[in-house]
Structure 1
Amino acid sequence: MRARSLLLSALLVGCPLRAGDKVFDHLVNHLQSRYQKAPVGTGFMGFMARCFSPKGVSGLRMAIFEEVDTRQPQGEDFEAVVRSTIGTEVTPLLRSLSRTGERCSIYLWEREKRTELLIFSSEKGEVVLLKMRLDPDRLREWLNDPEGMARKKG
């Protein structure tokens, strides 16, 4: 009975029940140190995202930092941490900075025949870090025909 309660609690708070991801954990620790705050639990949303990810997406990890000071410039600093954590094979796909200070960076790299995607988003008091593995064939299909892939089911 106690084991069932622990399992249910883990599912409800969205705790991953698999081995850690060193890259993601290192980046979360960096953000935790920077903001002096732990990420909030993703709760049921994190559980649903992991269970019902689109085909070709796996290893979804998410950290949300709320009520943090996002006014500090952090783009180059975070990019340096990403490069030192992942290595030179990381490619920044997108870097965006709005007039209001909202920032979004998307990174892509390949490791051991897998494609990895990292999304960093920062806006008024909130920072979100999202990492996932992508099936390279599904990614290539989507890049060649995004509209067709959007129409496909599954």
Structure 2
Amino acid sequence: MDKTKEPVGHLSSIIGIGLLLVGLVVFGVVEQKAWSHQTELTKNFEACMESAPFKKSLLVPRPEAVLTAEELQNHFDAFDQMLKETGLPPIWDGKALIPWKDYHKNSIEFARDCHLQLGIDQPQQQLKGTYSKTVWDPNSQIWQQAD
């Protein structure tokens, strides 16, 4: 009688291990698909963000190349004043200094449009890398408090 129980015990162990392996494979396939979707969504979001108007501001000439000596002094004074008031350096857009927070808020509004285009409703979970951080999520508390 002991001989019949032993093979049944081995058989149930083998079946259990087999089911565990099948479960791990299924889990791995599902996770791989989710990872691939997240990667593709992030790639599409980055492509959308590349068309943002603020990306062009990186190509504008530096203030010292377009301002006169007097205008340049006013520029530096305004820069210092904004830095003292906000604690963040302003951004030069080629024409004027823009407070960093306003500049970034415009980029967040553009990101919101990209989210809508791509059907992203939970960027912190759906995107990878830098774009999954709260500072890029238009619905995060950071931006709700800023309004």
TM range (shorter): under 0.3
Task: Specify the structure having the higher radius of gyration (Cα).
Answer: 2
Q: TM-score, normalised by structure 1?
A: 0.25
Structure with higher strand content? 1
Structure with higher helix content? 2
Q: TM-score, normalised by structure 2?
A: 0.26
